[in-house]
Structure 1
Amino acid sequence: MLGFVNWHWHYEFQLTYVVRGTISVFLDQRIIDLHEGQGVYINPEVLHMIRDRYDTDAMFISLDVSPRLLTSFPNSVFERSYVKPVFRSSAADAVVLDPGVSWQKRMLDSAKSIEQVYKRKDFGWELAVCSSLYSLWNELVCHLQESLAEDDAPAAEVARQRRSQRIKDTLAYIREHYAQKLTLDEIAAHLHLSTNECCRFFKKNMNCTLFEYITEYRLGKSMELLEHTDLPVSQIAYETGFGSSSYFIEKFRKNVGTTPAAFRKAGR
């Protein structure tokens, strides 16, 4: 496998904890290293990527949770006072959780309990999940209370949101057109940037070059097709934008460490 979860965002909030090894979480020009036993809370719609820190055999578990499990109903006191303020706060975009800090350990324990209860699915498991979820959220809100009351400086927050939206627009364009030939001129024109500024902006915010991301995204799509279809390698190369079988095999071997055919065989 590619060994990482590429840049993405979602409308759920996320809780990730490390079971083994060390991982790096990339988000908004920050890199957070998490070791075994540690975790992180990530706000909805925050761009992030997770990689194995040392390319070894790290293992982590991520829980993506719909805010609707907390809000009860639209405009409820839960939504107004305890959920939306967290989602609006940049201080809550990424909160590191360390088992050496008592309230953070309680959050980690609640996250582990949710994962275990969800896997077993004994009678009443939904109630148990919600109970642990509210306990977890209470810890987070109480210990972020002061920062939630402080609004970000308007200019800084507007700039942050504009940068985040530009990144999302870039990724959305790539995901829509990855199967086609993509040029720097086309992507820069879509973003209304010069080609130099487009490259600089992407590298600064994504910790990789534009075309490194495109290659990794195409490889991820090709791996899905290798695992779940019987399409020939040549057709997969074409459908994922590589253009030729030889180029696809070359990139696959370099990034995944094996050939597409061997990868398909190992998964069956």
Structure 2
Amino acid sequence: MQIKNIEVDQSLKELTNHRTVALPIACYETTIRQYIQGYIPLHWHDEIQFVLVVKGEATFQINEEKIVVREGDGVFINSGCLHMAEEKNQSGCVYICLNSSPHFVLAQELYIAYVYPYIQATNLPYLYVDANDTWGKNILEAMMKIKQWIQQKPPYYEIDIAAQITLIWQNLIINGFPLEYDQTEALKHYRMKQMLNWIHFHYGEKIMLDDIASAGQLSRSECCRYFKRILKTTPLRYVTDYRIQKSLVLLKNVDANVTEIAYQVGFNSTSYFIDKFRRAMNMTPLAYKKYKMDIRQTNYLIRGISQ
């Protein structure tokens, strides 16, 4: 299954239901460039996530850090961490994504001792999974088995998957990481999510820097430092980028009017919207709309021929 758009709530929490029919997990293949935006936008979820890059390479941003994951390697992304991804060097990156509820990793009797401290640790937002390390190789091979079992559904495959999830977690924690919980660090990311939450709820309105800073209970200068450090951008530039993202979905509508969309997503003039859209997407909103319509028409014709 290829997910081509990540639905999030106002706090950027992903709304995708990460589970099979019987298990609180999901395992699917993702081609980054097939997403609406051409990359995987910033989001977070309660599930822990393991990624295995099977083609090309990708740059992942997890909280305020960026890492490049090579073909054949992977990355662990901890519960609740903001993250996004884009392919590197137009490599056509494809990766397998395994999401699991932390509570599914181990029995409840072991959860407090062997899971909870890791998902609460502020010094473990992610971990690079290198296929050249024995523990990394074990994790990546287990992911492939899980993906295969979900597709083929052999007898008792749910039990096999549960065993492999436990094996994955054991190989992750066997490294003996010195876990830390920093209240200041935790508060920083809470405030960041509060500011993003406010932007995503009010993006269609006039937004001032003071409004964003107030949502995070920060001064204007501290607000700017938060965005620069964590998201590598300014608060108002993030607002503009988010408005462009929202417009992409609306422009897919056949009856979409560029001027109406501009005002709907918070721009106060059509010309300003067109200028910012062109800078972000290397085409005008109208050209993007025509491009999406042509793709739909081509897909329709292909389905008609195949039938």
TM-score relative to the length of structure 2: 0.75
Counterparts of 1:184-263 in structure 2, within 5 Å, are 184-227=209-252, 230-258=255-283, 259-263=287-291
Residue 64 (structure 1) aligned to one of 99, 111, 121? 99
Measured in 2, the distance between the counterparts of 1:17 and 1:103 equals 14
Gaps of 5+ in 1: none
Does 1:10 pair with 2:45?
Answer: yes
Residue 23 of structure 1 is matched in structure 2 by 58
Measured in 2, the distance between the counterparts of 1:140 and 1:30 equals 20
Residue 264 of structure 1 is matched in structure 2 by 292
Name the aligned partner's letter for residue 240 of structure 1. V
Measured in 1, the distance between the counterparts of 2:236 and 2:199 equals 10
Measured in 2, the distance between the counterparts of 1:254 and 1:161 equals 35
How much does 1:184 deviate?
Answer: 1.0
How much does 1:177 deviate?
Answer: 1.0
Measured in 2, the distance between the counterparts of 1:186 and 1:173 equals 9
After TM superposition, the structure 1 stretch with the greater mean CA deviation from structure 2, 168-177 or 84-93, is: 84-93
Structure with the bigger percentage of helix: 1
Q: Deviations over 1:137-171 (max 9, x none)?
A: 1211222xx32xx452x6xx011111111111111
Relative distance call for 1:238 and 1:96 in structure 2 (3 A) is same
Aligned residue-pair number = 258
Does 1:181 pair with 2:206?
Answer: yes
How much does 1:172 deviate?
Answer: 0.9
After TM superposition, the structure 1 stretch with the greater mean CA deviation from structure 2, 197-206 or 86-95, is: 86-95
After TM superposition, the structure 1 stretch with the greater mean CA deviation from structure 2, 26-35 or 226-235, is: 226-235
* 8 Å Cα contact 1:179/1:239 also seen in 2: yes
How much does 1:120 deviate?
Answer: 4.0
Relative distance call for 1:266 and 1:112 in structure 2 (3 A) is farther
Relative distance call for 1:244 and 1:130 in structure 2 (3 A) is farther
How much does 1:71 deviate?
Answer: 4.3
Runs of 4+ in 1 over 6 A off after TM superposition: none
Relative distance call for 1:132 and 1:61 in structure 2 (3 A) is same
Relative distance call for 1:163 and 1:244 in structure 2 (3 A) is same
Name the aligned partner's letter for residue 47 of structure 1. L
How much does 1:121 deviate?
Answer: 4.2
Does 1:139 pair with 2:171?
Answer: yes
Measured in 2, the distance between the counterparts of 1:116 and 1:213 equals 39
Name the aligned partner's letter for residue 81 of structure 2. V
How much does 1:108 deviate?
Answer: 1.1
Measured in 1, the distance between the counterparts of 2:257 and 2:241 equals 20
For 1:90, what is the secondary structure of its paired residue?
A: coil
How much does 1:67 deviate?
Answer: 1.9
How much does 1:247 deviate?
Answer: 2.9
Residue 168 (structure 1) aligned to one of 193, 198, 203? 193
Measured in 1, the distance between the counterparts of 2:170 and 2:114 equals 8
Gaps of 5+ in 2: 1-35, 297-307
How much does 1:55 deviate?
Answer: 4.6
